[in-house]
Amino acid sequence: MAAEKIAVNRETFDNVILPVYAPAQFVPVKGKGSRVWDQQGKEYIDFSGGIAVTALGHCHPALVETLKSQGETLWHTSNVFTNEPALRLATKLIAATFAERVFFANSGSEANETAFKLARYYACKKHSPFKSKIIAFHHGFHGRTLFTVSVGGQPKYSDGFGPKPADIVHVPFNDLAAVKAVIDDHTCAIVVEPIQGEGGVMPATPEFMQGLRALCDEHQALLVLDEVQSGMGRSGKLFAYEHYGITPDILTTAKALGGGFPVSAMLTTHEIAAVMAPGAHGSTYGGNPLACAIAETAVDIINTPEVLNGVAERHQQFVAALSAIGKQYDIFSEVRGKGLLIGAVLKPQHASKARDILHAAAQQGVMILTAGADVMRFAPSLVIEPTDIEEGMARLARAIEQVLAA
Protein backbone atom coordinates (compact mmCIF):
# COMPACT_ATOMS: atom_id res chain seq x y z
CA MET A 1 0.00 0.00 0.00
CA ALA A 2 1.17 3.53 -0.83
CA ALA A 3 0.58 4.70 2.73
CA GLU A 4 3.30 2.37 4.00
CA LYS A 5 5.89 4.20 1.91
CA ILE A 6 5.18 7.57 3.58
CA ALA A 7 7.87 8.47 6.11
CA VAL A 8 6.30 9.42 9.41
CA ASN A 9 9.24 10.52 11.51
CA ARG A 10 10.10 13.88 13.02
CA GLU A 11 12.01 14.96 9.88
CA THR A 12 8.82 14.58 7.84
CA PHE A 13 7.21 17.28 9.95
CA ASP A 14 9.45 20.00 8.53
CA ASN A 15 8.48 19.02 4.98
CA VAL A 16 4.71 18.70 5.33
CA ILE A 17 3.38 20.78 8.26
CA LEU A 18 2.92 24.56 8.50
CA PRO A 19 5.91 25.63 10.59
CA VAL A 20 3.97 27.04 13.57
CA TYR A 21 5.11 24.36 16.05
CA ALA A 22 8.47 23.06 17.21
CA PRO A 23 7.55 19.53 18.30
CA ALA A 24 9.79 17.20 20.30
CA GLN A 25 12.20 14.95 18.42
CA PHE A 26 10.35 11.76 19.43
CA VAL A 27 6.97 10.78 17.99
CA PRO A 28 4.46 9.29 20.46
CA VAL A 29 2.53 6.36 19.05
CA LYS A 30 0.71 4.84 22.01
CA GLY A 31 -0.59 5.80 25.43
CA LYS A 32 -2.16 4.10 28.43
CA GLY A 33 -3.04 5.96 31.62
CA SER A 34 -0.14 8.31 32.31
CA ARG A 35 2.39 6.36 30.24
CA VAL A 36 3.25 7.03 26.60
CA TRP A 37 5.48 5.12 24.12
CA ASP A 38 7.33 6.49 21.10
CA GLN A 39 8.19 4.95 17.72
CA GLN A 40 11.26 3.26 19.22
CA GLY A 41 9.23 1.75 22.06
CA LYS A 42 10.76 4.08 24.65
CA GLU A 43 8.39 4.79 27.55
CA TYR A 44 7.57 8.20 29.02
CA ILE A 45 5.59 9.38 32.05
CA ASP A 46 3.17 12.07 30.94
CA PHE A 47 3.10 15.16 33.17
CA SER A 48 1.91 17.29 30.22
CA GLY A 49 -1.54 15.77 29.75
CA GLY A 50 -1.71 16.99 26.15
CA ILE A 51 -1.67 20.54 27.64
CA ALA A 52 -4.31 19.97 30.32
CA VAL A 53 -6.49 17.94 27.92
CA THR A 54 -6.17 14.23 28.73
CA ALA A 55 -7.60 14.67 32.22
CA LEU A 56 -8.40 10.97 32.53
CA GLY A 57 -5.12 9.82 31.05
CA HIS A 58 -4.67 8.09 27.71
CA CYS A 59 -7.29 5.69 26.40
CA HIS A 60 -9.41 5.64 29.56
CA PRO A 61 -11.58 2.52 29.23
CA ALA A 62 -14.87 4.40 29.78
CA LEU A 63 -14.01 7.02 27.14
CA VAL A 64 -12.90 4.32 24.70
CA GLU A 65 -16.16 2.44 25.30
CA THR A 66 -18.24 5.58 24.64
CA LEU A 67 -16.19 6.39 21.53
CA LYS A 68 -16.84 2.92 20.18
CA SER A 69 -20.52 2.68 21.03
CA GLN A 70 -21.42 6.20 19.86
CA GLY A 71 -19.15 5.67 16.84
CA GLU A 72 -21.33 2.76 15.81
CA THR A 73 -24.53 4.74 16.45
CA LEU A 74 -24.46 8.34 15.16
CA TRP A 75 -21.54 10.72 14.51
CA HIS A 76 -22.92 13.91 13.08
CA THR A 77 -26.18 15.45 11.96
CA SER A 78 -25.46 19.26 12.03
CA ASN A 79 -27.46 21.78 14.01
CA VAL A 80 -30.32 21.55 11.58
CA PHE A 81 -31.21 18.69 13.96
CA THR A 82 -30.61 18.40 17.68
CA ASN A 83 -29.28 15.19 19.22
CA GLU A 84 -29.56 13.20 22.44
CA PRO A 85 -25.91 13.36 23.65
CA ALA A 86 -25.85 17.18 23.28
CA LEU A 87 -29.07 17.56 25.25
CA ARG A 88 -27.79 15.23 27.99
CA LEU A 89 -24.39 16.95 28.21
CA ALA A 90 -25.94 20.44 28.34
CA THR A 91 -28.34 19.34 31.08
CA LYS A 92 -25.46 17.95 33.15
CA LEU A 93 -23.28 21.06 32.71
CA ILE A 94 -26.20 23.24 33.80
CA ALA A 95 -26.90 21.03 36.83
CA ALA A 96 -23.23 21.25 37.88
CA THR A 97 -22.73 25.03 37.46
CA PHE A 98 -24.25 28.55 37.58
CA ALA A 99 -25.35 28.17 33.97
CA GLU A 100 -28.77 27.90 32.36
CA ARG A 101 -27.86 27.80 28.66
CA VAL A 102 -25.04 26.12 26.72
CA PHE A 103 -23.46 26.63 23.30
CA PHE A 104 -21.24 23.83 21.98
CA ALA A 105 -18.21 24.37 19.79
CA ASN A 106 -14.98 22.55 18.94
CA SER A 107 -12.06 24.40 20.52
CA GLY A 108 -11.24 26.85 23.27
CA SER A 109 -10.79 29.61 20.71
CA GLU A 110 -14.21 29.00 19.25
CA ALA A 111 -15.92 28.96 22.66
CA ASN A 112 -14.16 32.23 23.55
CA GLU A 113 -14.98 33.79 20.19
CA THR A 114 -18.62 32.99 20.98
CA ALA A 115 -18.30 34.43 24.49
CA PHE A 116 -16.79 37.72 23.27
CA LYS A 117 -19.36 38.05 20.49
CA LEU A 118 -22.17 37.36 22.96
CA ALA A 119 -20.85 39.96 25.42
CA ARG A 120 -20.78 42.60 22.66
CA TYR A 121 -24.16 41.53 21.29
CA TYR A 122 -25.81 41.59 24.71
CA ALA A 123 -24.48 45.09 25.43
CA CYS A 124 -25.61 46.27 22.00
CA LYS A 125 -29.13 44.89 22.37
CA LYS A 126 -29.62 45.77 26.06
CA HIS A 127 -27.74 49.05 26.32
CA SER A 128 -26.05 50.67 23.33
CA PRO A 129 -23.85 49.81 20.34
CA PHE A 130 -21.18 52.02 21.95
CA LYS A 131 -20.92 49.74 24.99
CA SER A 132 -18.22 47.64 23.34
CA LYS A 133 -15.08 47.98 25.46
CA ILE A 134 -13.51 44.70 26.57
CA ILE A 135 -11.07 44.73 29.48
CA ALA A 136 -8.52 41.91 29.48
CA PHE A 137 -5.13 41.18 31.05
CA HIS A 138 -1.43 41.17 30.26
CA HIS A 139 -0.17 37.60 29.70
CA GLY A 140 -3.76 36.36 29.27
CA PHE A 141 -4.34 33.71 26.64
CA HIS A 142 -7.70 33.11 24.97
CA GLY A 143 -6.95 31.33 21.69
CA ARG A 144 -5.75 31.90 18.14
CA THR A 145 -8.62 33.39 16.16
CA LEU A 146 -8.16 37.09 15.36
CA PHE A 147 -10.62 38.21 18.06
CA THR A 148 -9.18 35.86 20.71
CA VAL A 149 -5.51 36.75 20.04
CA SER A 150 -6.54 40.40 20.24
CA VAL A 151 -8.22 39.93 23.63
CA GLY A 152 -5.21 37.85 24.72
CA GLY A 153 -2.53 39.84 26.46
CA GLN A 154 0.53 38.75 24.50
CA PRO A 155 1.05 41.06 21.49
CA LYS A 156 3.49 38.59 19.89
CA TYR A 157 0.46 36.41 19.05
CA SER A 158 -1.53 39.22 17.38
CA ASP A 159 1.12 41.49 15.83
CA GLY A 160 1.28 41.23 12.05
CA PHE A 161 -2.29 39.98 11.68
CA GLY A 162 -3.98 43.39 11.78
CA PRO A 163 -6.10 45.36 11.53
CA LYS A 164 -7.14 44.01 14.92
CA PRO A 165 -10.62 44.21 16.43
CA ALA A 166 -10.91 47.53 18.27
CA ASP A 167 -11.89 48.69 21.77
CA ILE A 168 -9.91 46.11 23.76
CA VAL A 169 -7.90 47.35 26.75
CA HIS A 170 -5.20 45.36 28.57
CA VAL A 171 -4.16 45.94 32.18
CA PRO A 172 -1.96 44.01 34.65
CA PHE A 173 -3.39 40.79 36.12
CA ASN A 174 -4.28 40.76 39.83
CA ASP A 175 -4.27 44.58 39.82
CA LEU A 176 -7.74 45.79 40.73
CA ALA A 177 -6.74 49.47 40.76
CA ALA A 178 -5.66 49.16 37.13
CA VAL A 179 -9.09 47.78 36.20
CA LYS A 180 -10.85 50.54 38.13
CA ALA A 181 -8.85 53.11 36.17
CA VAL A 182 -10.13 51.90 32.79
CA ILE A 183 -13.62 50.51 33.42
CA ASP A 184 -16.56 52.76 32.51
CA ASP A 185 -20.17 52.49 31.37
CA HIS A 186 -18.99 51.73 27.83
CA THR A 187 -17.41 48.50 29.07
CA CYS A 188 -19.30 45.39 27.97
CA ALA A 189 -17.08 42.75 29.57
CA ILE A 190 -14.07 41.83 31.66
CA VAL A 191 -12.40 38.69 30.33
CA VAL A 192 -10.15 36.76 32.70
CA GLU A 193 -8.63 33.34 33.37
CA PRO A 194 -9.07 32.44 37.08
CA ILE A 195 -5.66 30.81 36.75
CA GLN A 196 -3.55 32.18 33.92
CA GLY A 197 -2.22 29.07 32.18
CA GLU A 198 -0.06 29.92 29.18
CA GLY A 199 0.90 33.18 30.90
CA GLY A 200 2.86 31.36 33.61
CA VAL A 201 0.47 29.39 35.88
CA MET A 202 -0.64 32.40 37.91
CA PRO A 203 -3.78 32.09 40.06
CA ALA A 204 -5.98 35.14 40.55
CA THR A 205 -6.27 36.30 44.15
CA PRO A 206 -9.71 36.08 45.80
CA GLU A 207 -9.80 39.88 46.29
CA PHE A 208 -9.10 40.37 42.60
CA MET A 209 -11.83 38.02 41.40
CA GLN A 210 -14.36 39.38 43.88
CA GLY A 211 -13.37 42.94 42.93
CA LEU A 212 -13.89 42.18 39.24
CA ARG A 213 -17.35 40.82 40.01
CA ALA A 214 -18.26 43.99 41.91
CA LEU A 215 -16.89 46.28 39.17
CA CYS A 216 -18.87 44.39 36.51
CA ASP A 217 -22.06 44.78 38.55
CA GLU A 218 -21.39 48.47 39.08
CA HIS A 219 -20.94 49.12 35.35
CA GLN A 220 -23.42 46.60 33.94
CA ALA A 221 -20.59 44.69 32.31
CA LEU A 222 -20.38 40.91 32.00
CA LEU A 223 -17.76 38.85 33.81
CA VAL A 224 -16.42 36.34 31.28
CA LEU A 225 -14.29 33.56 32.75
CA ASP A 226 -12.02 31.66 30.40
CA GLU A 227 -11.84 28.25 32.08
CA VAL A 228 -10.60 26.48 28.98
CA GLN A 229 -7.51 25.34 30.91
CA SER A 230 -8.58 25.76 34.58
CA GLY A 231 -11.93 23.99 34.25
CA MET A 232 -13.09 20.37 34.28
CA GLY A 233 -11.56 19.44 37.62
CA ARG A 234 -8.09 20.81 36.92
CA SER A 235 -8.17 23.09 40.00
CA GLY A 236 -9.69 20.46 42.30
CA LYS A 237 -13.21 21.84 41.78
CA LEU A 238 -15.20 21.22 38.60
CA PHE A 239 -14.62 24.89 37.68
CA ALA A 240 -12.07 27.19 39.31
CA TYR A 241 -14.61 29.99 39.95
CA GLU A 242 -15.98 27.80 42.77
CA HIS A 243 -12.82 28.62 44.77
CA TYR A 244 -13.63 32.33 44.71
CA GLY A 245 -17.19 32.61 46.00
CA ILE A 246 -18.38 34.36 42.83
CA THR A 247 -20.35 33.39 39.77
CA PRO A 248 -19.53 34.50 36.24
CA ASP A 249 -21.98 35.65 33.57
CA ILE A 250 -20.28 33.64 30.87
CA LEU A 251 -17.82 30.76 31.20
CA THR A 252 -15.92 28.84 28.56
CA THR A 253 -14.57 25.30 28.86
CA ALA A 254 -12.67 23.15 26.37
CA LYS A 255 -9.33 21.32 26.77
CA ALA A 256 -10.32 18.53 29.20
CA LEU A 257 -14.03 18.61 28.37
CA GLY A 258 -13.68 15.73 25.92
CA GLY A 259 -10.65 14.14 27.60
CA GLY A 260 -8.78 14.45 24.28
CA PHE A 261 -11.68 14.50 21.84
CA PRO A 262 -12.18 18.04 20.44
CA VAL A 263 -15.22 19.70 22.01
CA SER A 264 -15.83 22.98 23.82
CA ALA A 265 -18.72 24.80 25.44
CA MET A 266 -19.78 28.29 26.42
CA LEU A 267 -22.06 28.49 29.45
CA THR A 268 -24.26 31.45 30.34
CA THR A 269 -27.51 32.49 31.96
CA HIS A 270 -30.96 32.41 30.43
CA GLU A 271 -31.20 36.21 30.60
CA ILE A 272 -28.00 36.76 28.59
CA ALA A 273 -28.70 33.90 26.18
CA ALA A 274 -32.11 35.38 25.42
CA VAL A 275 -30.63 38.15 23.23
CA MET A 276 -29.66 35.50 20.68
CA ALA A 277 -31.99 34.21 17.99
CA PRO A 278 -31.72 31.54 15.26
CA GLY A 279 -29.04 32.56 12.77
CA ALA A 280 -27.20 34.97 15.09
CA HIS A 281 -24.32 32.51 15.63
CA GLY A 282 -23.52 28.88 14.90
CA SER A 283 -21.04 26.09 14.22
CA THR A 284 -21.28 23.17 11.80
CA TYR A 285 -19.66 20.60 14.07
CA GLY A 286 -20.58 22.23 17.40
CA GLY A 287 -22.40 19.81 19.68
CA ASN A 288 -22.12 16.82 17.41
CA PRO A 289 -23.26 13.52 18.96
CA LEU A 290 -19.84 11.84 18.97
CA ALA A 291 -18.10 14.73 20.78
CA CYS A 292 -20.96 15.23 23.24
CA ALA A 293 -21.25 11.55 24.13
CA ILE A 294 -17.54 11.42 24.98
CA ALA A 295 -17.74 14.69 26.95
CA GLU A 296 -20.73 13.39 28.87
CA THR A 297 -18.70 10.39 30.00
CA ALA A 298 -15.77 12.68 30.92
CA VAL A 299 -18.06 14.92 33.02
CA ASP A 300 -19.65 11.89 34.70
CA ILE A 301 -16.25 10.64 35.82
CA ILE A 302 -14.54 13.96 36.65
CA ASN A 303 -17.45 15.52 38.55
CA THR A 304 -17.23 13.04 41.43
CA PRO A 305 -15.75 13.44 44.93
CA GLU A 306 -13.27 10.60 44.21
CA VAL A 307 -11.67 12.38 41.27
CA LEU A 308 -11.92 15.96 42.61
CA ASN A 309 -10.59 15.03 46.06
CA GLY A 310 -7.89 12.98 44.38
CA VAL A 311 -6.71 16.15 42.61
CA ALA A 312 -6.07 17.82 45.98
CA GLU A 313 -4.03 14.81 47.17
CA ARG A 314 -2.00 14.68 43.98
CA HIS A 315 -1.42 18.44 44.24
CA GLN A 316 0.27 17.87 47.60
CA GLN A 317 2.46 15.13 46.17
CA PHE A 318 3.49 17.28 43.17
CA VAL A 319 4.24 20.35 45.26
CA ALA A 320 6.22 18.34 47.84
CA ALA A 321 8.31 16.65 45.14
CA LEU A 322 8.92 19.86 43.19
CA SER A 323 9.83 21.74 46.36
CA ALA A 324 12.33 19.01 47.25
CA ILE A 325 13.87 19.15 43.75
CA GLY A 326 13.92 22.96 43.97
CA LYS A 327 15.76 22.77 47.25
CA GLN A 328 18.20 20.06 46.22
CA TYR A 329 19.29 21.86 43.04
CA ASP A 330 18.57 25.45 44.16
CA ILE A 331 16.65 25.91 40.93
CA PHE A 332 13.06 27.07 41.65
CA SER A 333 12.10 30.38 43.24
CA GLU A 334 8.46 29.37 43.65
CA VAL A 335 6.07 26.46 43.11
CA ARG A 336 2.56 27.78 42.43
CA GLY A 337 -0.80 26.91 40.93
CA LYS A 338 -3.96 25.13 41.95
CA GLY A 339 -4.89 21.45 41.81
CA LEU A 340 -3.02 19.79 38.97
CA LEU A 341 -2.10 22.96 37.13
CA ILE A 342 1.27 23.64 38.68
CA GLY A 343 4.12 25.96 37.77
CA ALA A 344 7.69 25.75 39.05
CA VAL A 345 9.36 29.11 38.48
CA LEU A 346 13.05 29.00 37.59
CA LYS A 347 15.35 31.22 39.63
CA PRO A 348 16.69 34.19 37.62
CA GLN A 349 20.11 32.56 37.16
CA HIS A 350 18.40 29.54 35.52
CA ALA A 351 15.64 31.42 33.69
CA SER A 352 17.04 30.65 30.22
CA LYS A 353 17.08 26.87 30.85
CA ALA A 354 13.36 26.05 30.52
CA ARG A 355 13.66 24.55 27.02
CA ASP A 356 16.82 22.64 27.97
CA ILE A 357 15.06 21.12 30.98
CA LEU A 358 12.06 20.19 28.82
CA HIS A 359 14.32 18.36 26.35
CA ALA A 360 16.43 16.70 29.03
CA ALA A 361 13.22 15.56 30.74
CA ALA A 362 12.06 13.89 27.51
CA GLN A 363 15.44 12.16 27.25
CA GLN A 364 15.02 10.88 30.80
CA GLY A 365 11.46 9.73 29.99
CA VAL A 366 9.10 12.37 31.37
CA MET A 367 6.93 14.73 29.33
CA ILE A 368 6.52 18.22 30.81
CA LEU A 369 5.53 21.70 29.60
CA THR A 370 6.72 25.27 29.91
CA ALA A 371 4.55 28.36 30.42
CA GLY A 372 6.24 31.56 29.42
CA ALA A 373 10.01 31.86 29.38
CA ASP A 374 10.89 30.72 32.89
CA VAL A 375 8.12 28.47 34.24
CA MET A 376 8.07 24.66 34.09
CA ARG A 377 4.39 23.67 33.85
CA PHE A 378 2.74 20.42 34.94
CA ALA A 379 -0.80 19.48 33.85
CA PRO A 380 -1.00 15.69 34.22
CA SER A 381 -3.99 13.39 34.21
CA LEU A 382 -6.27 14.07 37.18
CA VAL A 383 -6.13 10.36 37.97
CA ILE A 384 -2.38 9.83 37.55
CA GLU A 385 -1.11 7.02 39.78
CA PRO A 386 0.92 8.24 42.78
CA THR A 387 3.65 5.77 41.76
CA ASP A 388 3.80 7.44 38.33
CA ILE A 389 4.23 10.83 40.01
CA GLU A 390 7.08 9.41 42.09
CA GLU A 391 8.85 7.85 39.13
CA GLY A 392 8.29 10.93 36.92
CA MET A 393 9.80 13.18 39.57
CA ALA A 394 12.87 10.93 39.86
CA ARG A 395 13.30 11.25 36.08
CA LEU A 396 12.81 15.03 36.25
CA ALA A 397 15.46 15.31 38.97
CA ARG A 398 17.94 13.41 36.75
CA ALA A 399 17.10 15.74 33.86
CA ILE A 400 17.73 18.85 35.97
CA GLU A 401 21.00 17.38 37.25
CA GLN A 402 22.04 16.75 33.64
CA VAL A 403 21.19 20.32 32.55
CA LEU A 404 22.99 21.89 35.51
CA ALA A 405 26.07 19.74 34.86
CA ALA A 406 26.25 20.80 31.20
Ligand X SMILES: *Cc1c(COP(=O)(O)O)cnc(C)c1O
Residues that bind ligand X (CB under 6 A): 107-109, 112, 141-144, 193, 197-198, 226, 228-229, 254-255
**Cβ 33 to ligand X shortest distance, Å:** 23
Catalytic residue, from 141, 173, 261, 318: name it: 141
Cα 265 to the center of its chain, rounded Å: 12
Catalytic residue, from 38, 226, 249, 374: name it: 226
Q: How many CB atoms lie within 10 A of CB 152?
A: 29
Nearer to ligand X, 282 or 386 (CB): 282
**Cβ 252 to ligand X shortest distance, Å:** 7
Question: In 3D, which of 328, 312, 340 has the Cα closest to residue 47?
Answer: 340
**Cβ 52 to ligand X shortest distance, Å:** 7
Nearer to ligand X, 211 or 262 (CB): 262
**Cβ 43 to ligand X shortest distance, Å:** 27
Helix orientation angle between 289-302 and 61-71, rounded to the nearest 10 degrees: 160
- Binding positions are 141, 144, 226-229, 283-284
Question: In 3D, which of 142, 151, 192 has the Cα closest to residue 169?
Answer: 151
Residue 141 annotated among the catalytic residues of the structure: yes
Query: Cβ-closest residue to ligand X?
Result: 108
**Cβ 341 to ligand X shortest distance, Å:** 10
User: Residue by residue, what is the 3-state secondary structure of the chain?
Assistant: CHHHHCCCCHHHHHHHCCCCCCCCCCCEEEEEECEEEECCCCEEEECCHHHHCCCCCECCHHHHHHHHHHHCCCCCCCCCCCCHHHHHHHHHHHHHCCCCEEEEECCHHHHHHHHHHHHHHHHHHHCCCCCCEEEEECCCCCCCCHHHHHHCCCHHHCCCCCCCCCCEEEECCCCHHHHHHHCCCCEEEEEECCEECCCCCEECCHHHHHHHHHHHHHCCCEEEEECCCCCCCCCCCCCHHHHCCCCCCEEEECHHHHECECCEEEEECHHHHCCCCCCCCCCCCCCCHHHHHHHHHHHHHHCCHHHHHHHHHHHHHHHHHHHHHHHHHCCEEEEEEECCEEEEEECHHHHHHHHHHHHHHHHHCEECEECCCCEEEECCCCCCCHHHHHHHHHHHHHHHHHHHHC
Catalytic residue, from 255, 261, 338, 388: name it: 255
What residues are paired with 214 via a beta bridge?
Answer: none
Nearer to ligand X, 195 or 399 (CB): 195
**Cβ 294 to ligand X shortest distance, Å:** 15
From CA 222, how far away is CA 244, in angstroms rounded? Answer: 17
- Binding positions for N(2)-acetyl-L-ornithine are 144, 283
**Cβ 51 to ligand X shortest distance, Å:** 7
Question: In 3D, which of 220, 256, 203 has the Cα closest to residue 371?
Answer: 203
Residue 226 annotated among the catalytic residues of the structure: yes
Nearer to ligand X, 170 or 353 (CB): 170
Q: Hey, which residues are catalytic here? A: 141, 226, 255
